[in-house]
Each structure stands twice: as C-alpha cells, then as structure tokens.
Structure 1
Amino acid sequence: MTIDVSEALKALDNPTRLAILSLLKEPRKNFPEQEVDPQQIGVCVSIIQEKIGLSQSTTSNYLTILQRAQLVSSQRIGPWTYYKRDEAKIQELLLALQERL
C-alpha cells in the first residue's frame, strides 16, 4: 500500500507527534532505560509517554495517528505495545514530497 501523503502530513502537523517520530529515529540512544532492544522490538508506549510528559491516553492517541499515517508500526508483546518507525514508508513519503515540490 502506498503512503497517503496528505494523511502523513496531517500526522506530522503536531510538534509532539513530530518529536515522537524524531525520538524513535535513534531508539537506543533516546530510550536506554528499556530492557528489550528498542531498535529491534520498538519502544513501549509507557516509556515514550514518560519521555514526552503527556498522559498515556494522549500518547497512545498520537501513536495511533502516526500508525494510521504509516509512519510507525506496532507490535504487541503480552500486555505491552511497542512502536518503531517504518523507515520504508518514511522514505516513500520523502520521495513523494521531493517529486511534488
């Protein structure tokens, strides 16, 4: 499925969602407190929430918006959900923007 440029830009039109995506770019550096490898598995919602200082529900909502825009992917392990950037889709977005602008 091709990335929806409009949907992705809407998702990025929020400083906190943009910050989350930026933090996820270097998960080992930005989330060293996580026990499982954040580069491989992703970063747990609660750790992202602590880092950005918003409620769990707001953080989850922001991550859902980023996921709907295909900028992050998630996986559930037990009771926890882990998020990481979808680098292929981000690259697709950048190329689409480059072609259109």
Structure 2
Amino acid sequence: MPTATEDPQSEELARAFKALSNPMRVRILHWLKDPGSFPPQSEPAEEVGVCLKHIQARAGVSQSTASQYMATLQDAGLVTSQRIGAWTHYRRVEDRIARLAEELAATV
C-alpha cells in the first residue's frame, strides 16, 4: 500500500481541489461548459476552445491573472490549451472532470 507521499490519486485530487478552491476558477470552468456563450472568434470555440482574451473579459481580470487561473486549471488536468497564432484557447477536459467526481465519491 502506498504511503501518503506516494499516493498519486490523492495528489491528483489535491491539485483538483486546489484549482477549485477559487470561486473565479470554478466560474470559468462552468463558463467553458458552454463555449458558444462567448463572443465569436476566428476558430470555432467548440473545436479549439475559448480564447483567453474572452475568458479574461468575462472574468473582469487582467491578462496575467486570467493566465494564472488557466494555468492552475490546466495543472489540475481540468482544461487543455491550444495555441493558435498569438492566442491561447482553452477547453474543458470532460473525461477528467467526470473521473474527478467518481474519485471523490469513492475516496471521501
């Protein structure tokens, strides 16, 4: 049996909880559930994700703060990013979010 420091599942859960401990990051994850609710962009949001500038505008935060929020969500495996030109687009990782709910139910 792995020790507390060797338990990757607990580490993943902790990273996800850290990401979800900020109300704005939770809101962003919720907003990304409906990428069509953001303004139109050159590439379809449903395919490539939502451009950081749209997330930033909706959140009402600086570009660096929005980038930090998204980096935390990405580190937790809850979103993925794709660079298109000068812009980074984000979308939810639905299977990871579903697994997180299952892991939580099984662990806690």
TM-score, normalised by the number of residues in structure 2: 0.87
Shift of 1:100: 1.4
SS at match of 1:76: strand
Structure with greater proportional helix content = 2
Q: Tell whether the 8 Å contact from 1:11 to 1:65 is kept in structure 2 after alignment.
A: yes
* Corresponding position: 1:95 with 2:86: no
Shift of 1:20: 0.3
- 2:64 is aligned to 57
Work out the number of aligned pairs and report it.
100
* Larger RCO of the pair (alpha carbons < 8 Å, separation 6+): 1
Shift of 1:50: 0.5
Shift of 1:88: 0.9
Structure 1, gaps ≥5 residues long:
none
Q: Tell whether the 8 Å contact from 2:39 to 2:54 is kept in structure 1 after alignment.
A: no
Moved over 3 A (4+): none
Structure 2, gaps ≥5 residues long:
1-7
* Corresponding position: 1:14 with 2:57: no
Shift of 1:39: 1.1
Query: Identity over the aligned pairs, expressed in percent?
Result: 45
CA deviation digits over 1:40-91, x for unaligned, max 9? 1100000110011000000000000000000000010111100000001111
- What RMSD, in angstroms, separates the aligned Cα atoms of the two structures? 1.6
Q: Distance in 2 between matches of 1:48 and 1:31?
A: 8
Written as runs of structure 1 = structure 2, the 5 A alignment for 1:29-68 is 30-68=37-75
Q: Distance in 1 between matches of 2:39 and 2:66?
A: 19
- Return 2-11 or 35-44, whichever deviates more: 2-11
